[in-house]
């Protein structure tokens, strides 16, 4: 890529699919990218993991992505902006595909609707509280980067609104986070994928209550 950000070599079809696999995110873990990549194109649904990783290395060499680590997991940061790719990034792509950040979770939630919610124990409450504190810290760090200040009142409002959104649906939560607090989209997605919506809702409620208790 040149200093002006113009592509010397545009991404090929496979590389475009990998870029689309980031969905709304700028950074994502490798495992999630691979899962989304397999769903985007049926013609590539049998791509082995090692072949996918070789494509990632080639894209890294071309300056399309860069490796990072997210909570101990290997991931990648997308370096190409949509404006650099023009219409090639999402040509005739339906809205559902644009929302890959929630696609796999939506399928998972359909299964989990038939499961009983987890029994609330002291260990679960402690873990939920710790996860909620981590999410609050991520939100505050993002606010500090964006505005140069942290408002406890605004943090509380975001936590309360995320609770309301998740009560409606996981997709409603992602719509809120994507538009209002995009800096924590990865964290929210990882909690949902690893712990489920009931756990995240409990974490949000505990965190919202703690902020309200000590801020007002």
How confident is the model at residue 159, as a pLDDT? 95
**Do 124 and 86 fall within a single domain?**
no
How confident is the model at residue 157, as a pLDDT? 95
**Overall average pLDDT of the 94-113 stretch:** 45
Note whether 6 and 13 are within 8 A (CB): no
Q: Out of 98, 121, 138, pick the residue that ends a domain.
A: 98
Asked whether residue 8 is assigned to any structural domain, the reply reads: no
Q: Out of 43, 64, 98, pick the residue that ends a domain.
A: 98
Asked whether residue 5 is assigned to any structural domain, the reply reads: no
Domain of residue 54, CATH code: 1.10.10.10
How confident is the model at residue 80, as a pLDDT? 81
Q: What is the dihedral of CA 173, 178, 183, 189, to 10 degrees?
A: 50
Asked whether residue 71 is assigned to any structural domain, the reply reads: yes
**Do 54 and 131 fall within a single domain?**
no
Closest C-alpha among 200, 191, 190, 212 to residue 32:
190
Asked whether residue 83 is assigned to any structural domain, the reply reads: yes
Q: Out of 98, 122, 155, pick the residue that ends a domain.
A: 98
Domains: count for the chain: 2
**Do 87 and 131 fall within a single domain?**
no
**Residue located via tokens 């980031």:** 22
**Overall average pLDDT of the 52-60 stretch:** 95
**Do 85 and 123 fall within a single domain?**
no
User: Domain limits at 27?
Assistant: 13-98
CA distance 76 to 29: 6
Element (H, E) at 107: helix 100-112
Instruction: Region of 72 please: left (phi>0), alpha (psi -120 to 50) or beta.
Output: left
**Do 116 and 211 fall within a single domain?**
yes
**Do 160 and 118 fall within a single domain?**
yes
**Do 156 and 184 fall within a single domain?**
yes
**Do 137 and 75 fall within a single domain?**
no
> Which pLDDT tens digit goes with each residue over 193-212?
777 889 899 999 999 998 88
Entry pTM = 0.50
pLDDT at 53 over 70: yes
């Amino acid at each position: 890529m040149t200093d002006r950000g113009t592509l010397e070599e545009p991404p090929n079809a496979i590389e475009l699919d990998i870029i689309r696999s980031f969905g709304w995110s700028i950074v994502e873990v490798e495992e999630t990218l691979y899962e989304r990549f397999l769903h985007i194109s049926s013609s590539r649904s049998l791509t082995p993991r090692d072949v996918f990783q070789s494509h990632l290395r080639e894209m890294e060499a071309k300056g399309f992505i860069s490796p990072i680590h997210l909570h101990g997991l290997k991931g990648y940061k997308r370096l190409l902006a949509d404006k650099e790719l023009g219409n090639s990034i999402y040509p005739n792509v339906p809205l559902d595909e644009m929302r890959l950040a929630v696609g796999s979770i939506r399928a998972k939630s359909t299964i989990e609707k038939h499961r009983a919610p987890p029994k609330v124990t002291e260990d679960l409450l402690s873990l939920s509280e710790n996860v909620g504190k981590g999410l609050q810290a991520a939100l505050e760090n993002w606010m500090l980067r964006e505005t140069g200040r942290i408002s406890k009142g605004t943090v509380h409002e975001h936590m309360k609104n995320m609770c309301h959104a998740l009560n409606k649906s996981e997709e409603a939560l992602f719509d809120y986070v994507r538009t209002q607090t995009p800096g924590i989209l990865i964290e929210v997605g990882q909690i949902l994928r690893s712990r489920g919506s009931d756990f995240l809702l409990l974490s949000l409620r505990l965190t919202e209550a703690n902020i309200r208790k000590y801020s007002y």
